[in-house]
Structure 1
């Protein structure tokens, strides 16, 4: 689990998260201290220190406090979840080198779970959860081709290239992992 927590996120995600939290804090203060803020911002007798000429321009400056963070959040494009592959899967059947490998086998080289996550990340967990592969995937919906390039562990240089077939309740992958043929039936996990 420590490995998944050490994956660094792009700067845009951190920035968007910080702006969102600041905006939520501002909304909290706005609702919590509304009478005092209304008296301060909407008071007519005492002009503010910064004098803004024109009533309309003054209102625009006041409203920009609320809408500027919203504009910053909406300008960032979050990674989309792939509608076909995205999700968590449990391996119901697996064949490597045309040999049926039972998911209930106690061997640590049996693939147990597969995750296709936002940002085109893929995680494959083996039996016991101590062994895993992390990578980035590219999915071509026209040809139904999935290509996963592994970046963890560093020695994993065998790319997974497979065709994805969708069936009710899951997907099937049929292709090659490195030099070995591989077929998997993956049941979607809620």
Structure 2
């Protein structure tokens, strides 16, 4: 069901109960609760991009939801993501997120694609991505990251593509990339890498990978 560019600030009435894909992008939502989608038991893909969302309240179970697009909103805090056990794709690009709590994504262990680019993240807790053993794609590009904890990627056993471009990183801590892990792609451009002894680990990792 395509409801983009409708000037909506509330969920429209009369949506078919068997709706599987719901496009609500480019509207005027400022706050929303997943309670509103409870009648849509078969909802798998939900696009709420390009609204003015300040708050998304979660908790009401949406057991079939696999893709949630929240990019280009005004979110300053990460939703709790409760009640979304099947979620595999979460897009939060271009919001106002400045921090993530430890274990922020623990309630969505099936997540495979996480897009956090274009936020205001300056640093991350060591356990920010704890429990995301199925994650394949992680985009942290175009944030304000100046340093990262050494253990950040340790739980991400299936990570294939990792974006770190466009941050403020001058070096990476020794052992940052899990030993023996093979990535398909790692993007590190547009950081102010400082060529001194602190960069030795990254230089050696690139040479051997």
Class of the TM-score when normalised by the shorter of the 2 chains: under 0.3
- With a CA cutoff of 8 Å and minimum separation of 6, indicate the structure with the bigger relative contact order: 1
Structure 2-normalised TM-score?
0.20
Structure 1-normalised TM-score?
0.22
| Higher alpha-carbon Rg | 1
